Structure 1
Amino acid sequence: MANKQKNFRFLNLIERAGNRLPDPSFLFIFLTLLTIIASAVAAYFNLSVTYEGFNEETGTIETITASVNNLLSVEGFQYMVTNVIDNFTGFFPLGTVFTVIIGVSVTEGTGMLSVLLKRIVSKTPKALISAMVVFLGILSNVASSTGYIVLLPLGAIIFLASKRHPVAGIAAAYAGVSGGWTANLLIGSNDPLYAGISTQAANILDPNYTVQPTGNWFFMIISTIMVTLIGTYITDKIVEPKLSTYSFTSSETVETITDDERRGLRFAGITFLIYVSLIAITIIPESGILRDPETGSLLESPFMEGIILFIMLMFLLPGIAYGVGQGAIKSTHDVAKLMSDGISGIANFLVLIFWAAQFTAFFEYSNLGTILSVNGAQLLTNIGLTGLPLLLLFVIVAALINIIMPVDTAKWAMMAPIFIPMFLQVGLSPEVTQIAYRIGDSTTNVITPLMPFFPMIIAYFQKYDKKAGIGSVISTMLPYSIAFLIGWIILLSGWYLFELPLGPGAPVTT
Structure 2
Amino acid sequence: MADSPAATPAPKRNAFTRFLDGVEWLGNLLPHPVTLFALLAIGIVFLSGLFGYLEVAVPDPRPAGAKGVAEDGMIRAVSLMDGDGVRRIFTGLVGNFTGFAPLGVVLVAMLGVGVAEKSGLLSAAVRSMVLGAPKHLVTVAIVFAGIVSNTASEVGYVVLIPLAAAIFYALGRHPLAGMAAAFAGVSGGYSANLLIGTIDPLLAGITQEAARLLDPDYIVVATANWYFMVASTFLITLVGSLVTIYIVEPKLGEYDASRADPTVLDDSMMNQITDGERKGLRWAGIALIGVLALMALTLLPEWGVLRNPETGDRINAPFFKGFVVWILIFFIATGYAYGRAAGTMKSDRDVIDAMAAALSSLGLYIVLVFFAAQFVAFFGWTNLGAITAVTGATFLQETGLTGPALFFLFILVCAVINLSLGSASAQWAVTAPIFVPMLMLIGYSPEVIQAAYRIGDSTTNIITPMMSYFGLILAWATRYDKNLGVGTLIAMMLPYTIFFLTLWSLFFFLWTFVLGIPVGPGSPTYYTS
Q: Same fold (TM over 0.5)?
A: yes
The reply to whether residue 193 of structure 1 matches residue 202 of structure 2 is: yes
Of 290-299 and 86-95, the range deviating more from structure 2: 290-299
Pairs within 5 Å for 1:196-275 = 196-247=205-256, 251-275=267-291
Give yes or no for contact 1:191–1:214 (8 Å, CA) kept in 2. yes
Give yes or no for contact 1:48–1:67 (8 Å, CA) kept in 2. yes
- One-letter code aligned to 2:300: I
Of 345-354 and 477-486, the range deviating more from structure 2: 345-354
Q: Secondary structure at the match of 2:75?
A: strand
Of 131-140 and 51-60, the range deviating more from structure 2: 51-60
The reply to whether residue 452 of structure 1 matches residue 461 of structure 2 is: no
Query: Which of 300, 307, 316 is matched with 2:332 structurally?
Result: 316
Give yes or no for contact 1:143–1:304 (8 Å, CA) kept in 2. yes
- One-letter code aligned to 1:499: G
Q: Secondary structure at the match of 2:341?
A: helix
Distance, in Å, in 1 between the alignment partners of 2:73 and 2:522 is 32
Query: Which of 421, 429, 436 is matched with 1:413 structurally?
Result: 429
Distance, in Å, in 2 between the alignment partners of 1:290 and 1:459 is 33
Q: Which residue of 1 aligns with 2:41?
A: 32
Distance, in Å, in 1 between the alignment partners of 2:267 and 2:31 is 33
The reply to whether residue 501 of structure 1 matches residue 529 of structure 2 is: no
Give yes or no for contact 1:178–1:446 (8 Å, CA) kept in 2. yes
Of 300-309 and 171-180, the range deviating more from structure 2: 300-309
- Alignment size in residue pairs: 510
Q: Which residue of 2 aligns with 1:287?
A: 303
Give yes or no for contact 2:165–2:176 (8 Å, CA) kept in 1. yes
Structure 2, gaps ≥5 residues long: 1-8, 258-264
Deviations 1:120-172 (A, max 9, x none): 11474322011000000000111233311111111111212222111000000
Q: Which residue of 1 aligns with 2:55?
A: 46
The reply to whether residue 276 of structure 1 matches residue 300 of structure 2 is: no
The reply to whether residue 379 of structure 1 matches residue 379 of structure 2 is: no
Query: Which of 345, 350, 370 is matched with 2:386 structurally?
Result: 370
Distance, in Å, in 2 between the alignment partners of 1:64 and 1:485 is 34
Distance, in Å, in 2 between the alignment partners of 1:347 and 1:32 is 21
The reply to whether residue 440 of structure 1 matches residue 440 of structure 2 is: no
Deviations 1:277-328 (A, max 9, x none): 1211121112211111222111111211211101121111110111111111
Give the deviation of 1:458 after TM superposition.
1.3
Distance, in Å, in 1 between the alignment partners of 2:70 and 2:29 is 45
Q: Which residue of 2 aligns with 1:181?
A: 190
Distance, in Å, in 2 between the alignment partners of 1:205 and 1:180 is 31
For the aligned residues, what is the CA RMSD?
1.9
Query: Which of 311, 314, 335 is matched with 1:298 structurally?
Result: 314
- One-letter code aligned to 2:443: G
Query: Which of 62, 71, 78 is matched with 2:87 structurally?
Result: 78
Structure 2-normalised TM-score? 0.93
Give the direction of change, closer, same or farther, for the CA distance of 1:296–1:59 in structure 2 (3 Å limit): farther
Q: Secondary structure at the match of 2:461?
A: coil
Distance, in Å, in 1 between the alignment partners of 2:523 and 2:367 is 45
Give the direction of change, closer, same or farther, for the CA distance of 1:131–1:265 in structure 2 (3 Å limit): same
Give yes or no for contact 1:53–1:61 (8 Å, CA) kept in 2. no
Q: Which residue of 1 aligns with 2:479?
A: 463
Give the deviation of 1:111 after TM superposition.
1.3
Give the deviation of 1:58 after TM superposition.
5.8
Give the deviation of 1:59 after TM superposition.
11
Distance, in Å, in 2 between the alignment partners of 1:63 and 1:509 is 34
Query: Which of 366, 375, 382 is matched with 1:359 structurally?
Result: 375
Give the deviation of 1:352 after TM superposition.
0.8
Give yes or no for contact 1:66–1:370 (8 Å, CA) kept in 2. yes
Give yes or no for contact 2:194–2:229 (8 Å, CA) kept in 1. yes
Query: Which of 27, 30, 36 is matched with 1:21 structurally?
Result: 30
Distance, in Å, in 2 between the alignment partners of 1:475 and 1:60 is 38
Distance, in Å, in 2 between the alignment partners of 1:10 and 1:252 is 38
Structure 1-normalised TM-score? 0.96
Deviations 1:374-430 (A, max 9, x none): 112111111111121221111000001111111110010011111101101111110
Give yes or no for contact 1:54–1:61 (8 Å, CA) kept in 2. no
Pairs within 5 Å for 1:102-181 = 102-122=111-131, 124-181=133-190
Q: Secondary structure at the match of 2:62?
A: strand
Query: Which of 92, 95, 98 is matched with 2:101 structurally?
Result: 92
Q: Secondary structure at the match of 1:66?
A: strand
Aligned-pair identity in percent equals: 45
Give the deviation of 1:56 after TM superposition.
11
- One-letter code aligned to 1:3: P
Give yes or no for contact 2:65–2:71 (8 Å, CA) kept in 1. no
Give the direction of change, closer, same or farther, for the CA distance of 1:54–1:186 in structure 2 (3 Å limit): farther
Distance, in Å, in 1 between the alignment partners of 2:64 and 2:253 is 49
Q: Secondary structure at the match of 1:388?
A: coil
Of 69-78 and 161-170, the range deviating more from structure 2: 161-170
Give yes or no for contact 2:411–2:452 (8 Å, CA) kept in 1. yes
Give the direction of change, closer, same or farther, for the CA distance of 1:508–1:345 in structure 2 (3 Å limit): same
Distance, in Å, in 1 between the alignment partners of 2:474 and 2:140 is 22
Structure 1, gaps ≥5 residues long: none
Give yes or no for contact 1:387–1:428 (8 Å, CA) kept in 2. no
Give the direction of change, closer, same or farther, for the CA distance of 1:190–1:64 in structure 2 (3 Å limit): farther
Give the deviation of 1:497 after TM superposition.
2.3
Q: Secondary structure at the match of 1:69?
A: coil
Distance, in Å, in 2 between the alignment partners of 1:316 and 1:502 is 40
Give the deviation of 1:51 after TM superposition.
2.1
Of 299-308 and 473-482, the range deviating more from structure 2: 299-308
Give yes or no for contact 1:214–1:504 (8 Å, CA) kept in 2. yes
